[in-house]
């Protein structure tokens, strides 16, 4: 047999909070609020209601995510060839759980050369065109942060 910690017991119309200051029980809708959430709170919780000879049990898996930090864009390589400038970019966020990345044009009316669904983007544009702006978005289930990248004029250097 395994042991379970009882967080709140509700009996006779009164709640008994066994973790005062750590959790808050709302009797109006029977919700439970975890105060100062930490990674250790991400676990399986069980909610049970006993009425006479029957017990209804519901399990809830809580996931705790660290919000995404502001991403940065790094140029991995740049090449001028065949009248086109090619730039390899990598977008990364230092912090955050289950982060996904996407690229889009800063001008939302056009997709342009900026579309992608990974942290890497291979961007090709005319060497004199510095108006193309790409936006990298780093996101997870609890947050989203974006950074714009505007290429500089491409040369043989």
Domain ranges of the chain: 5-61, 71-149
Q: Binning pLDDT at 50, 70 and 90, where does residue 125 land?
A: confident
Residue 4 has pLDDT above 90, yes or no: no
- pLDDT tens digit string along 56-89? 888 889 999 999 999 999 999 888 888 888 889 9
pTM score: 0.73
Q: What number does CATH give the domain 71-149?
A: 2.60.40.10
Question: Residues with Cβ < 8 Å from 114, sequence gap 6 or more?
Answer: 103, 104, 105, 106, 121, 123, 132, 133, 134, 135
């Amino acid at each position: 047999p395994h042991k379970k910690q009882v967080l709140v017991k509700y009996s006779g119309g009164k709640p008994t909070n066994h973790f005062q200051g750590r959790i808050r029980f709302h009797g109006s809708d029977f919700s439970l609020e975890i105060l100062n959430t930490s990674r250790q709170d991400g676990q399986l919780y069980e909610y049970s209601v006993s009425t006479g000879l029957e017990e209804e049990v519901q399990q809830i898996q809580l996931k705790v995510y660290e919000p995404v930090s502001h991403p940065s864009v790094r140029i991995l390589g740049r090449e001028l060839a065949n009248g086109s400038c090619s730039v390899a970019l990598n977008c990364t966020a230092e912090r955050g759980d289950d982060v996904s990345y996407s690229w889009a044009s800063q001008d939302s009316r056009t997709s342009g050369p900026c579309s992608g669904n990974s942290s890497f983007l291979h961007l090709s544009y005319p060497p004199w065109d510095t108006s193309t702006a790409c936006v990298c978005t780093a996101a997870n289930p609890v947050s989203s942060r974006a950074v714009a990248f505007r290429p500089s004029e491409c040369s043989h250097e």
